[in-house]
Structure 1
Amino acid sequence: MTTALITIVAVIGFGIITGTITMVMIFKLLRNNKHKQHFQKSILTEGIPAEAVIHDITQTSSSMDGRPGVRLDLTVTQVDGRTFPTIVETYIPVTHIPQFQKGNVIHVRYIVNGNERKVEVEDAYVP
């Protein structure tokens, strides 16, 4: 009888600990995702406008709200004429897919973050 009680208490304790760890990880993931979306929106509203040439477009295995995820290999031309390469992963509305072909020029916005530039595509989907 005592070992059965100890086993039940151990199983319940393990379940509570496992559930708590799972919930903490889920909340951290949701918070990080919300922070990333806020950062993307701030780039699109406050970033420096530029144009970019698409060198390659590859569909990723992800999608969001029915929009396919893509990886864009771009060369961004800044206002002063200097260029820099970048790769952007984003989601494209299905109606905008014809605009996102190799060789096409698209509108982007970027910010300088230290030695790094963060780029977002203007016509992409941001939830």
Structure 2
Amino acid sequence: MPGTPRREAGLRCEDARLIARDVLSAHHVGTALVDDVLLVVSELVSNAVRHAGGVTDFRVRCLPGSVAVEVSDGSTARPSLPGTPVDVPGGFGWLLVNRIADRTEIRPDHGGKTITAFLPLTPVG
């Protein structure tokens, strides 16, 4: 199924959410899942901007049974969970992404990384 075209550096959260909303609308995705996807998009894009120098690639794809949100950046540093280590603030967005998504993947990509969050089209459990 078609997804978003490649989007490069300078992508803002607002733009990413508009792109995601367009893809989800084209696939008639329900409102509750749209809200979850937009939250994941916001967290992943804002983290790439805040911690990794910006987004180098962004895609939203509707797959059989799930929606995949892919955000690439130029940093090899992996996201951290809250309190790891305790003197470093943050990590709550990554925790939230992992609670909303069915699964997440982090893979090295051209000197940086790509994070993919998969959100189920049907409720889990």
Shared fold by TM > 0.5? no
Structure 2 length-normalised TM: 0.28
Structure 1 length-normalised TM: 0.28
